[in-house]
Amino acid sequence: MTDIQRNLPVDEQLALLKRGVVDLVSEDDLRRKLTQAQAEGRPLRVKLGADPTRPDLHLGHAVILRKMRQFQDLGHKVIMLIGDFTAMIGDPSGKSKTRPPLTLEETRANAGSYLEQCKLILRDDPEVLEIRYNGEWLEPMGYADVIRLASRYTVARILERDDFTKRLNSGTPIQMHELLYPLTQGYDSVALVADVELGGTDQLFNNLVGRALQRDYAQEPQVVMTLPLLVGLDGTEKMSKSLDNYIGLTDEAHRMFAKLMKVPDPLLNNYFTLLTDLSAERVAELLAGHPVAAHRELAREVVASLHPGADLEAAEERFKSVAKGGIPENIPTVPIPATERNAEGRYSLARLVVLAGLEPSNGAARKLIGNRGLKLNGETVAEAQASIELPEGGAVIQKGKDRFARVIAET
């Protein structure tokens, strides 16, 4: 961290922090907090709460993590709050039915992977990063504490949440513990004395509850900033692993590059704004030019930020080769034990897919083949029970557009 970054004029800090933001409650409060922090030489405490319901992150998560990194680069302390306790409740935000709760052990196991991936974007420096778990203060709370907390908010205000209203009107059950979730998340801000809370647009209500509770606990209310949910590669839904329209934070550089080259044209401006530091002028220039050049710039910017040592030229060449129907040169080679041969000296293709790490089970591999999602030496195979001989140089199997493996028989 340089003194220049710490002492940027407040208007410049504000302009940087507002980029890509949807809701800002309020801009005046943020300007005042930034001005006061700079005058006093102290960092703001910037909170992001996350329930680690899944161990893997994608570029949709990177949008908020990048905003946290901007706060870090301005000298402020970001707090990664792992909702190990609230994940057991299950956040009902945007859900049309009750979400199944997790155990404390499951949430903490997911949290380890979650934090490691966050550090691909965040600075892992205790001066600007604090990691906390809300089980620290929520688990010791007794029944009387919960009653006192519940007394600070009305049912009418809780039911103002759009998803609760829809469920109530449709006759879909709302469990009592779900009504407590916004209060529980809001109390985290009180426990941490947060100056700012970040979240997706689906978290606006919960974060505003935190702002209200802080005022009720005689704290200065936090600023609430929300960022848009990144649309997935299908162009219709938010990025999600369950929808298979995602780009993982830990995807290999060449896979990330290839996926970014397929971002729908109408989403390019959104991806540039939320995932890169390019100026608005440069983005406008790229969008006015050829879409392929814009995609290439997007892919190079994002991949370089998450894979600093990546060979971008090689990633681009690989993409071009695959796009033309070719097979890349640098694909993994997987030796197949002789014990996998049947009496006729042949190998189950589904089993080869599993051994190559392209699918987790024989059943999944057979389904992939039956759906015409697998190629053998460039040719689509549709027979789920197919078996093949492995020539001396092996064979190349391909899943989808860019998952390759060369399988060779062990001698």
In the chain, where the domains are located: 3-227, 253-323, 333-409
Element (H, E) at 410: none
Contact between 399 and 359 (Cβ < 8 Å): yes
- Which of 108, 128, 117 has the alpha carbon at shortest distance from 68? 128
Residues lower than pLDDT 50 in the chain: 1-4, 94-99
Question: Within 135-267, where are the H helices?
Answer: 135-138, 143-150, 155-158, 162-170, 176-192, 204-216, 253-260
Which pLDDT score, from 0 to 100, does residue 95 have?
Answer: 44
> What are the tens digits of pLDDT across the range 197-256?
999 998 899 999 999 999 999 999 999 999 998 998 888 888 887 677 889 898 889 889
User: Domain 3-227 has what CATH class?
Assistant: alpha beta
Which pLDDT score, from 0 to 100, does residue 260 have?
Answer: 93
Distances from the Cα of 348 to the Cα of 29, 206, 365, 367, angstroms: 64, 52, 10, 14
Which pLDDT score, from 0 to 100, does residue 94 have?
Answer: 47
Which pLDDT score, from 0 to 100, does residue 2 have?
Answer: 43
Which pLDDT score, from 0 to 100, does residue 367 have?
Answer: 92
Beta bridge partners of 80: 48, 131
Give the integer Cα–Cα distance in Å for 163 and 202. Answer: 10
Fold classification of 333-409 is 3.10.290
Contact between 222 and 210 (Cβ < 8 Å): yes
Does the annotation flag 95 for ligand binding?
Answer: no
Q: Which CATH number among 3.40.109.10, 1.10.287.130, 1.20.1260.10, 1.10.240.10 corresponds to the domain 253-323?
A: 1.10.240.10
Q: Cβ of 337: how many Cβ atoms within 10 Å?
A: 9
